[in-house]
Chains A and B, each alone.
Chain A
Amino acid sequence: MKDATGSTGRSLGIARLGRAICVLLAAALWAVPAWAEPLTVRLRAEDPAVAERFVAALDSVGGGRVTLVEQGADVTLALGETAFRAELAVPGRGPLLGLAVPRSAAGLVTPGCDCSAIWRGVPLATQLALIDALMPEAGRVGVLLGPASAWAPPLSMPRGRLLEAVLVPRPDRLAPLLRRYLPDWDALLLPDDEALFGPGAAKLVLLTSYRQRVPVFGPGADFVHAGSVASAYLDLSDLARAALERLEARRRHGEWPAQGFAGHYSLAVNDHVARAYDLNLVERARLERILETSP
């Protein structure tokens, strides 16, 4: 009886495995022709230097799946909000994918526009996961949000932690609001926001927080280089990878996936600053795994 049961179990297992392999093979056979012909894309960007680097990243991660053309492209890629807005306004344009578009411009993607967008920045949950790993004792985390920030209130409250979002209506209100709220927080988390946290704000934010011994996380690699503890950020390779996924999805399903964050991020950690605050120097591989499981 025992042998029979065991044998039956093995038979069932083999059968399931065989079905799974068949499904995978079918999927692969279906998918391969989809990319057999390189997709032609046209790139529009405000900054030629950034465009050049993006093309290099696309070549690198694309493996020949897309070809850049100027005329007759299957899809237009618009890098940045300005380019995205400009392309949307072109009469009779074709499919359009906005890249690194601020979340505040999400309203540009309307039903029937045959367009989608990949937002700038990284999700709040990803940055909070970094704080979890590096500074688990941070009970009160403050977030300064502007009208054009990558996150918008209400923010979802993480378990066991107080998350306080403060709206900064204009850049000139940043300093007074920092003075008012920073003493109440254990850590400060900044969203991607070109208007609020440009290079000029880095000195103000980082020096103010350092004087009060409040570690800063986010919003990107430049801040980390200047003195923020750590940040997940969207680099051009991540953006290229995300763009390829969107293109593939559209080709497969005939429609664009919903706009959203890229889903692929890079990691910047300032070990010197982390050490100065006595934060957990977590292995880089573990931090990168956190990014891989991010939304």
Chain B
Amino acid sequence: MLTPARLDQPVSEVPASVTVIDRELILASGARELYEVMRLVPGMSVAKADGNLPSVAYHGTQARDQRRMLVLVDGRSVYQPGFARVNWNAIPVALEDVERIEVTRGPASAAYGANAFTGVINIITRDPRDVDGQQTRVRAGNNGILDSRVAAAHQFDNGAWRLSLNDRRDHGYDADLPPLDTGDAKRVTTLNGRSVWELNPRDTFTVHAGGSRTRLDRPNERGLEAIADYRDDSQERAERAFLGLEWQRQVSPRHQFKVSLYGQYNNEDINLDLCYRDPITGTQGPGGGLYYSKELRDLYLANGGDIGQTLASAAADPAIQNRYATLQASGGGPFCGTGYLDVREERYDLELQDTLQLRPWARLVAGLNLRQDRARSQAFLSGTAENLSHRLFTSLALKPLPPVTVNLAGFWEHDDISGAHFSPRAGVNWEVLPGHTLRAVYARALRTPDIYEDQARINLPISGLSGPYGDRQGLLGWDPAYFFVTQRSPGTLDPERIRSRELGYYGRFAVGGMGGFELDVRYFQEELWDLVSGALNPFNFEPNNNGEVSHRGTEAQLSWRPSGRHLLRLTGAHIHTRATSATETRLAARDSAGALWLWRFRRDWWWSTGYYLARDYNDYPFERLDAQLGWRQRLAGAEWEWRLQVQQPLNSEPVVFAENEYQDDQRYWLTVTVNF
């Protein structure tokens, strides 16, 4: 277990509750996409809350924002800095590339700094030295599911490499059920590669590289539909790439040093192809250009940003009347154009980490980190904004007595947006009996405002205007011309904060002839304050720190292997959430549970069944039963693997929001994998 304290520790000694999702659990889950295996984590809220955008949040609060949890891939943060989110669709890792996923349940800013707020998910990809040969995989099912994969790995004298290309497509939620009537299909292509060189017995050099390309159909914006008609569907188009370098030196058996450097790039936009309706006649016409006129912007600002008041008073404003007359006299047809919600983000991160065994009973890890985040967006930032942060961290694991482990950690950081902050954590693990450990942890963490929250300047320009509308200055009063609604962040937001107390138990034991058990139980209290709870979109922009949430509850996870043929895994969480804002409870399920059973009924055959419950997400319960039949065989010198998966929702409720409803309740697919 590497994640909780940046030290390689047994689970019984880490200062947190952890969930490890290994390759066997991934196989048993039958999951098709990375985010789905997070259902195996107690207390984790998992839902496609916004069309084809999965939401994954530990102790979930807001449905659409995933700002409060850090996600790492091989130690590299995929938490996107400009707009504080994790885009699960675009993480360039296929499930077949995953060695294991370590989930630290609880604040971990003391080890990873800001944004490791409610927890950390660390996705560890397969080491190329452990991957054999080539692989192809095809998957097809209902709901437009069509996935493919090709992968290769090769070992050479002092190292190895692996590379995989994955493509997955589906139709998303049903396209014919209003209001999600434009569909939310997706196509995601990812590339993931890793190469390792053992330079000498002490030095290892690793290169990580990859990227993704996503095409997501997006539902229509209801706010815009009130004033315009879509002439083409919106689509999110994104390209992402990353390159990471890591050098690790085993200075001595007790001393290890690591330098890691990575850069990542994200470029995405959503097109808004609209023909605006004349606010007077309600039909498409030149008067629709008023929404991009300088005069309506001025009136909007004069009304203090009140959209309703602005539109209600527009007809009586002389300047707007003149602009309307000018547009009508232009002889142009319907006012149609394209706006782009564009985002471009870059991150460069350098980290040095030193791990030292000070004494047989004391280990220390310390390091420093330098990071530059840059975000560019015409629509959201009206330009470019940056944030430079530097950090120092240390973590100490002590064993003053053989059954007792004390973990102390602290993380100091300074960034341009939030200034200096310190996040501490202290934990004590006491092995009261062999295989039975009690744990007490106290931690504080923070989430710093992202670049958008701090420096938003929303100005949505329009392009693709044809005919006389090309003369923006003459017909709209300014060039470039922007949508009349604008927002600006005051730049005064404070970091969100969390304080967590935990009492836990971890046991790994055998009971007579009943096989082995692994049990983790956690009781926790979490207080979150200074939360940015309000919406921050162009139509509704409430940048304040007024939100507060408290969580109190119990979680448990049990793995039981009654024999080599069976694995049973049970998880459950019961959480009381109180919040000052209803939006902070959208993804907070009071009760959630999961059960997974894997049965290897013959040497190369297996059956698995999964059951998942969350009651409720935004008043809608989620309940689903999965089943999988798998078979491996050797054929024509290759190993073939066949898997048939069925997912059966156990109720007809939508997922989080009313529009998230499948037309066909049952989903199924067949996966064929060939290893050669």
Contacts and interface: CB of A to CB of B under 8 A. Distances in A.
B435 A211 contact: no
Interface stretch (A68-76, A122-130, A174-182): A174-182
Nearest to B518: A137
B10 A137 contact: no
A68 B675 CA distance: 59
A155 interface: no
B23 interface: yes
B564 A182 contact: no
A280 to B, nearest CB: 6
B65 interface: no
Given A137-B508, A137-B561, A139-B565, A280 B435 contact: yes
A85 interface: no
A275 B434 CA distance: 11
A31 interface: no
A139 B130 contact: no
B594 to A, nearest CB: 20
Nearest to B565: A162
B644 to A, nearest CB: 20
Contacts of B155: 175
Interface stretch (B262-270, B377-385, B509-517, B570-578): B509-517
Contacts of B317: none
Given A137-B518, A276-B10, A278-B508, A211 B513 contact: no
Interface centre among B23, B129, B562 (most CB of A within 10 A): B129
Contacts, number: 72
A136 B435 CA distance: 12
B472 interface: no
A211 B127 contact: yes
Contacts of A282: 434
Interface residues of A, number: 29
Contact of A208 (B129, B516, B559, B564): B129
A277 B565 contact: no
B564 A161 contact: yes
B405 to A, nearest CB: 11
B516 A137 contact: yes
Nearest to A161: B564
B130 A182 contact: yes
A276 B508 contact: no
A65 interface: no
B434 A212 contact: no
Given A136-B515, A213-B22, A162 B99 contact: no
A160 B563 contact: yes
Contacts of B600: 162
Given A137-B508, A162-B600, A211-B127, A183 B23 contact: yes
Given A140-B564, A160-B564, A213 B517 contact: no
A105 interface: no
A160 B515 contact: yes
B528 interface: no
A159 to B, nearest CB: 8
A287 to B, nearest CB: 13
Contact of A139 (B132, B133, B513, B563): B563
Interface centre among A137, A161, A163 (most CB of B within 10 A): A137
Given A182-B130, A211-B130, A280-B509, 6 more contacts: A135-B516, A160-B515, A176-B132, A211-B129, A212-B130, A280-B510
16 contacts: A135-B516, A136-B510, A137-B517, A137-B559, A138-B516, A139-B516, A139-B563, A141-B564, A160-B562, A183-B130, A213-B100, A276-B8, A278-B10, A278-B508, A280-B435, A280-B508
The 9 lowest CB-CB distance pairs between A and B, nearest first, are A137-B516, A162-B564, A136-B510, A139-B564, A179-B132, A278-B10, A160-B563, A139-B561, A161-B564
